[in-house]
Structure 1
Amino acid sequence: MTSEAPDSAADGSADASATTTFADLGLRGPVLAAIADVGYETPSAIQAATIPPLLAGRDVLGTAQTGTGKTAAFALPILERLDRERGRPQALVLAPTRELALQVCEAFERYAAHSGGVHVLPIYGGQGYGVQLSALRRGVHVVVGTPGRIVDHLGKGTLDLSGLRFLVLDEADEMLSMGFAEDLETILGSTPQDKQVALFSATMPAPIRRLSQTYLRDPEHIAVAGRTQTATNVTQRYLVVSYAQKLDALTRILEVEDAEATIVFTRTKNETEVVAEKLRARGHAAAAINGDIQQVQREKTVKQLRSGDLDVLVATDVAARGLDVDRIGLVVNYDLPIDTESYVHRVGRTGRAGRAGRAISFVTPRERRLLTAIEKATRQPLTPMHLPSVEDVNATRLTRFDDSITEALGRAGEIDQFRDIVAHYVAHHDVPEVDVAAALALAAHGGPLLLDAEAEQVREQFEADRRAATEGRQRGGKAAHGGRDRRLGGAAMTTYRIAVGRRHKVEPRQIMGAIANEGGLGRGDVGAISIHSGFSLVDLPSDLPAGVLRRLGRTRISGQLIDLRPDTGRRAPARGASRGGAPGARKGGQN
């Protein structure tokens, strides 16, 4: 059976899921309370289509991109049906990378906030076994892990899946492309026959279809279809920023961006009130709308936005649905939305009536993956931007102050009276006219006009966060670890030698999968791999931190310690070595 999630219009018109609540889907009590805390008001398309069959015990085969809200689609029904009295793992979620595993684990913990006693454990390469073993001994209900480390635990006998009731394969196509097909077979073969399986994949290639035919029982096929194009007249940018720095960033952006009106989107209802209140304290005409605001108040607020009495509206997705105000020149995603369709809806609030619009998204370092999903779904790259500096803010303030003086000078009939008052003050107090003018400006402005130079420290912190997220792949330069230097996509690469080869029956996909997960690397970070009789050579970024190299040195492939070390090139390749040779032996990072 196949069901297709309803199309979500790019202009923000209501779709079928807009009138559906999470309670309508069959969720109850503690899970609903957690959803309310998180701030989700209505389910996304994938959630509305997936939660009911999962609650009913059916297997699900879902075609969905990252960023469609699928984590909640499988996590919420699992938590609804979890038996908290049983201490053995009941649910296993497999993810291709440790970053995604951690994100899924954190989502489970948020959704279980009111469930009491639910224990969730992430299992991934790069983390010590001791922490994982201690947690497993204490008892966990949900395990979220990468295939390689899960297989390691199964091999050691430290992970018991005999009581497993739910299995989720998240981004299955990514796991296969990273070389985890054999690991998935091992894991699936270690689980009970009567478990419920949910498999999610952005694409549906033949290996995924074979996997689903083998391990899923009469699955309901759910495909998310939606218009994910944003308007071409909207300039889209993003700023890498930590959560604690968002308010300062928003304040500066509102100062330097020349927009008649701005909508700021937050993820939760409570956040709309908090942000609006803090903006008002900083001198902005701001108000909040969310699902708790009465319709009369909402209409009043929107009217103020249209008339110009209000310049900044802080809103949730649902509260802004259908909002059409021509003077909105800027949309700020204070929090990235949970799905790409919501992003399209948000951006669609600006650039109305043929006008040019702008959208700026705040991206925390851990949300890079979601940003990539948005770019892929909308097929429009977002341009990185810098936090406006103190100099930028001060220049904008001076320009506006100059403009206000120029405007006042043009009102000749009214200015004459004030000219006489100033002359009277100068004559009776022996104060230079320029000082009187400065005092009047201070009185009119209510405080200092320009930011103090100490505020530059905030900008430097933002820049440090941004650099930390990108400089590792951009530095390039000479190899730092003594190996032979190469380049991949402009970045410096070093050739390393590992102690596994053809006689250990390893393949490039196993090497790449193990190194990517144990070292916390992406597929694009692993360069050429060549397999010889008793060893292999692999190109890795030259600027890998020492801690990553130590972890990789302790990595095992097919039970063999790889003993990673820089290749000096002094050993001649074994006869028949496959560097540049037999098909399938040499594998680049973009497999």
Structure 2
Amino acid sequence: MTKFEALGLEQSLLDAVTDLGFENPSEVQEKAIPILLENETDLVALAQTGTGKTAAFGFPLIQKIDSSSRTTQGLILSPTRELCLQITNELKLYSKYIKGLNTVAIYGGASISEQAKQIKRGAQIVVATPGRMKDMIGRGIVDISKIDYCILDEADEMLNMGFYEDIKDILSNTPDEKFTWLFSATMPKEVATIAKKFMHHPKEITVGDKNAGATTVQHEYYVVGGRDRYPTLKRLADTNPDIFSVVFCRTKRDTQKVAEKLIEDGYNAGALHGDLSQNQRDLVMNAFRKKQIQMLVATDVAARGIDVDDITHVINYQLPDEIETYTHRSGRTGRAGKSGISMVIVTRSELRKIKSIEGKIKQKFIAKKIPTGMEICEIQLYHLASKIRDTQINEEVANYLPAINDVLQGIDRDELIKKIISVEFSRFYNYYNKAKDLNTVDTDGHGERKRSKGERGEASSNGSVRYFINVGEKDDYDWMSLKDFLKDTLSLGRDDVYRVDVKDSFSFFNTDAEHTELILQTFSDFKVDGRFVNVEVSKNPGGSGRSGRDRSRGGGKDRDRSRGKRRDRKSSHGKSSHSGKRRSKKRDGFF
């Protein structure tokens, strides 16, 4: 792969690249930077969020700016305050070795007089939201009549937010001979109109297919009854104990309502919508970035500019009206080379929208069943056991051990383990034990079309077998890499392994029943880097129901006990993806 040195960057920028720890350019950087450095040209770049677009236009812009002149030479328009600040901070890091270069952020919700002072001191690059920029031009505070470069970042998002007229007014104050660089995830007709009106024979680059979704994102949908959206949301969260997600709602009212219900039920949740003050918004976003909030419930407008690389799930509580909006939602996960999952909760009448989105993003959705109560109990039981195993011992406990041993005297090891697990697990089990099945009668998805084997796993309880495997995120697996590992190890086709659900230190997957013997034989005494990797059959049809070890393989309790000893000797490697912890639930007893 091409290194940054080969793209034509000056040494001062290469030094900054080294400090930032960048090694290889992303695809959009590799395509855009040489074009912008070697030519004076307009550019249209189509690439998903999280692909490194800021550096793709930031490095060439900084290199072309004359830092000895205090004239404003570059204008960057971005849709939100958060993105505006993020771009500004990144440009300052890129230009840290260039003396005299000043980048100023202009955005609403902050003192306009303070921003005016910064502009007056001299700003070669201005990063602005359209509304505040138009205001400052109207007041005569900012002069962009001599700029050389204008960058429209996240152009489709700005236009979706209703900034079309503002952008036209702002661009009308810029010189005709400037160069315009337009970066966008999708190309709706409004973006094409801007390009046609304000750009001259632009060069085009595309990362992936136009309007297509990121290939690192797995798309899933769950068919529910109209009244079961919220219970389904809870089950999706409980099936993923380490979830770090954005939950999208259509309206501000629904956003606030869902967030309040989640908080009431004991989840670490927060709301992000247009009725919040800037201070409230900042508090929520800071808590989310620190993972003090695991489920951020947001409207599409309020979520513009969220740039957090390790979001594990995007949950569409309701589908958006525009397909392009879904592309932006799902682009919040699967960023910076990581994988992610986009979940959609739909009613039967909305299934036609899934088909439309598939055609636009050029990816298939997997029809999945809503987890049953017992499936969730199984996952949470393993999660609790892993949590106990990985808990760092507080040595102060030693002072109390003699008295504790007296209290626990006469309880053998197995019974003690059961009691410890039951302290947390019983409340959880009691909540879900008799919970109803939320799946509609027919989750056959698109109805008229036959699903592929990869999609079929959720519905084929007769011919599909669910397995437990003792590796997960801590072993550096995600759903993509674990699927590849299983496929390669077992010499199966990619569609032969499906419903891959990766948790912190264990995972689940499905195959058709015909592969069961091969799988159990292969993993009967299988090691990776000296560690035993065990695969066992869960007796829950389709992956739901009670946890069950496959006794038909022989060995019974003795076999399980010997496996337990082996596991005691094993050590996980890699780092946990998420450090956020969920509060114990006041009513449900979740952990």
TM-score by length of 2: 0.41
Bigger-Rg structure (1/2): 1
TM-score (normalizing by structure 1): 0.41
